[in-house]
Amino acid sequence: MSTIFDKIINREIPATIVHEDEVSLAFNDINPVAPFHVLVIPKRPIVAVGTMTEEDEAVVGHLLRVCRLVANAAGHEHFRVASNSGAPAGQSVFHLHFHVLAGRDFSWPPG
């Protein structure tokens, strides 16, 4: 199923892209909840952590490294990575994405 993130990958709608490589794209979240809020997504249409397969392992590992790269590149040594898997967990776009949040203190547990 195509999502709004496919349109960003295909440059059909604009986004502020901060990183791109063969398998991943990272761009600013349209509704930031922290001073730094980037979404890291695979170009491959994986739906969520909850549906990923063994074949996705290398891509998902790469995405986590990109989370570190984009945070560090923006000057953030400390950051939170979050991924909502399934609507009850808060997922609203059904294309895997890691939220990378930084620039303020965070509490635990999340809401």
Beta strands in the chain (DSSP E): 17-20, 24-28, 36-42, 80-82, 98-102
CB–CB of 102/80 below 8 Å? yes
Concerning whether 97 is annotated as a catalytic residue, the answer is yes
Beta carbon of residue 107, minimum distance to ligand DGP (angstroms, whole number): 18
Which residues are registered as beta bridge partners of 37? 101
Q: Tell me if 63 contacts ligand DGP by CB under 6 A.
A: no
Q: What is the DSSP letter of 75?
A: T
Q: Nearer to ligand DGP by C-beta: 39 or 71? A: 39
Q: For residues 91-110, which are near ligand DGP according to CB under 6 A?
A: 91-93
Out of 76, 95, 97, 99, which one is annotated catalytic? 97
When binding is defined by CB under 6 A, the residue of 9, 84, 96, 102 that contacts ligand DGP is: 84
Comparing every residue's Cβ against ligand DGP, the nearest one is 30
Q: Tell me if 24 contacts ligand DGP by CB under 6 A.
A: no
CB–CB of 98/81 below 8 Å? yes
Phi, psi of 8, rounded to the nearest 5 degrees = -70, -45
Q: What does the binding site for ligand DGP look like in residue numbers (CB under 6 A)?
A: 4, 15, 27-31, 39, 84, 90-93
